[in-house]
């Protein structure tokens, strides 16, 4: 039998590369399926959402194979797969979606009704998301392949741009979704909370959508330096407790047209409170700076339970929000997992035609599968990098 290795979560702060089962055409309940494919993983990325689990901030079980950002080559397919072929290089949305339920038909693939018995929505290698095996591995099975996968039209061209195209599985559509749902358009002033990979993807998306100025807030000097080098206005949140003052220093008024929360539930305070975890800080600050009738996109992850929080309310998923402020200002809030299929084809075209050099914006850095634990450790220290795992040595060993 063919072998397989993958990145396995072993408890808070600990991941290892271990031998895992070679994928089979079965769903998490063990039922045989014929609508799936087996991929040789070409690239698979470490995501900030993975870090939440590895830090012990979720109920993720030990033994979970991690990884929901996957690009791969089809090496086997079920008999019901009609429109894809062996050898195709494809991008995999992190959403597992059936394509048949009401929400999938509405392009709300982040909350598919059929792939997870516990709740709406499924994902690879993630806690409470249906039990689908993760793709930080040499090989992985992808179900409902005809619906979920997009084939790159020119394989050689795709491999040349693989560091950009690998971002199609999650962070680029996620950042784009946050910007679109916040209402970013031509001439918009935009603030993005968080200079990690999703925040930088949101900022790059805002530029593509026509924003006049894009500010990115963080407390990490290295990430702020990289944001500035990427063409965004850095906002150092250690400088003031009042985000309005920092915004006014850039655009002349203490407000923006649209804002994006790319931080999520592990947020910290601003200014003097920068070292204190405050789960609702970002949401409250965005309501303060977003103009009346403006929009707030929230692609940053929030969980139904946060057992590792020091805040008793947050342990149950409850946040101390100034919702009345948002209501009074007629804000639009848009939350939830990004429906990747709504965006990834158009974003693929933008990449292939040189309009969106996302790998440079997020500082994509290739590492081997064996180096994945090191990548997790370095990413957790806040380095300004997006780690791309290369399980089979098919990528160019370079940073973007």
β-sheet bridge partners, residue 132: 124
At 298-323, the pLDDT tens digits run 999 888 777 777 777 777 778 889 99
At 168-189, the pLDDT tens digits run 999 999 999 999 999 999 999 9
156 and 91 Cβ atoms separated by less than 8 Å:
no
Q: What is the dihedral of CA 119, 122, 124, 129, to 10 degrees?
A: -10
The CA–CA distances, whole Å, from 138 to 8, 277, 354, 368 equal: 13, 36, 29, 11
Q: How far apart are CA 22 and CA 202, in angstroms?
A: 35
For residue 17, pLDDT beyond 80: yes
3-state secondary structure of 275: coil
Domains of the chain, first to last: 5-170+341-390 (3.90.180.10), 171-335 (3.40.50.720)
pLDDT reported for residue 305: 75
For residue 399, pLDDT beyond 50: no
pLDDT reported for residue 270: 79
Strands (E), 256-351: 256-261, 290-298, 332-335
Closest CA to 194 of 299, 337, 82, 89: 299
For residue 257, pLDDT beyond 70: yes
Q: How far apart are CA 70 and CA 123, in angstroms?
A: 11
pLDDT reported for residue 199: 97
The DSSP call for residue 167 is G
The CA–CA distances, whole Å, from 38 to 26, 59, 293, 310 equal: 11, 28, 47, 42
Burial (CB < 10 A; 0-12, 13-18, 19+), residue 118, is: exposed
Q: How far apart are CA 386 and CA 365, in angstroms?
A: 6
29-52: b or e for each residue (b if 16 or more CB lie within 10 Å)?
eeeeeebbbbbbbbbbbbbbbbeb
pLDDT reported for residue 1: 59
Q: How far apart are CA 135 and CA 284, in angstroms?
A: 35
Count CB atoms within 10 A of the CB of residue 355.
10
pLDDT reported for residue 315: 77
The residue assigned the tokens 């993005």 is 192
pLDDT reported for residue 279: 76
pLDDT reported for residue 400: 41
pLDDT reported for residue 192: 98
> Percent of the chain scored above 90 by pLDDT?
87
Give ∠ CA 111-88-360 in degrees, rounded to 5: 70
For residue 161, pLDDT beyond 70: yes
Lowest mean pLDDT among 181-195, 249-263, 277-291: 277-291
Lowest mean pLDDT among 15-19, 105-109, 240-244, 308-312: 308-312
At 224-250, the pLDDT tens digits run 999 999 999 999 999 998 999 999 999
Average pLDDT value for the chain: 94
At 261-274, the pLDDT tens digits run 999 888 877 777 76
**DSSP string computed for 193-261:** E--SHHHHHHHHHHHHTT-SEEEEEES-HHHHHHHHHTT-EEEETTS-S-HHHHHHHHHSSS-EEEEEE
For residue 365, pLDDT beyond 70: yes
Q: What is the pTM of this model?
A: 0.95
At 21-80, the pLDDT tens digits run 999 999 999 999 999 999 999 999 999 999 999 998 888 999 999 999 999 999 999 999
The residue assigned the tokens 């996109």 is 297
For residue 398, pLDDT beyond 70: no
> Percent of the chain scored above 70 by pLDDT?
98
3-state secondary structure of 65: strand
């Amino acid at each position: 039998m063919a072998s397989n290795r993958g990145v396995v979560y072993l408890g808070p702060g600990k991941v290892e590369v271990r031998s895992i089962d070679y994928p089979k055409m079965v769903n998490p309940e063990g039922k045989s399926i014929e609508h799936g494919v087996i991929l040789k993983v070409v690239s698979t990325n470490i995501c900030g959402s993975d870090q939440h689990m590895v830090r012990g901030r979720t109920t993720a079980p030990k033994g979970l194979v991690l990884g929901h950002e996957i690009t791969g080559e089809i090496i086997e397919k079920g008999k019901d797969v009609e429109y894809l072929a062996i050898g195709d290089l494809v991008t995999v949305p992190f959403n597992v979606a059936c394509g048949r339920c009401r929400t999938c038909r509405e392009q709300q693939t982040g909350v598919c009704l059929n792939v997870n018995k516990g709740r709406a929505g499924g994902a690879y290698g993630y806690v409470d998301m249906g039990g689908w095996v993760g793709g930080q591995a040499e090989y992985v099975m992808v179900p409902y392949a005809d619906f979920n996968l997009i084939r790159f039209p020119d394989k050689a061209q795709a491999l040349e741009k693989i560091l950009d195209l690998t971002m199609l599985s999650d962070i680029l559509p996620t950042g784009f979704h946050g910007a679109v749902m916040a209402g970013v358009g031509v001439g918009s002033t935009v603030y993005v909370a968080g200079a990690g990979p999703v925040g930088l993807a949101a900022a790059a998306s805002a530029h593509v959508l026509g924003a006049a100025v894009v500010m990115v807030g963080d407390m990490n000097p290295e990430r702020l330096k990289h944001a500035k080098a990427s063409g965004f206005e850095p906002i150092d949140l250690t400088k003031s407790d009042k985000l309005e003052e920092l915004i006014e220093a850039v655009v002349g008024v203490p407000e923006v047209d649209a804002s994006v929360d790319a931080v999520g539930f592990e947020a910290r305070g601003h200014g003097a409170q920068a070292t204190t975890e405050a789960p609702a800080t970002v949401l409250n600050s965005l309501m303060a700076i977003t103009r009346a009738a403006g929009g707030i996109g929230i692609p940053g992850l929030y969980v139904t339970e946060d057992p590792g929080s020091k805040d008793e309310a947050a342990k149950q998923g409850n946040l101390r929000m100034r919702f009345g402020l948002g209501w009074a200002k007629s804000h639009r809030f848009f939350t939830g997992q990004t429906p990747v299929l709504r965006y990834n084809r158009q974003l693929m075209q933008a990449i292939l035609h040189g309009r969106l050099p996302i790998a440079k914006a997020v500082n994509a850095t290739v590492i081997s599968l064996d180096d994945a634990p090191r990548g997790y450790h370095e990413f957790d220290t806040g380095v300004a990098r997006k780690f791309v795992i290369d399980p089979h040595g098919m990528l160019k060993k370079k940073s973007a």
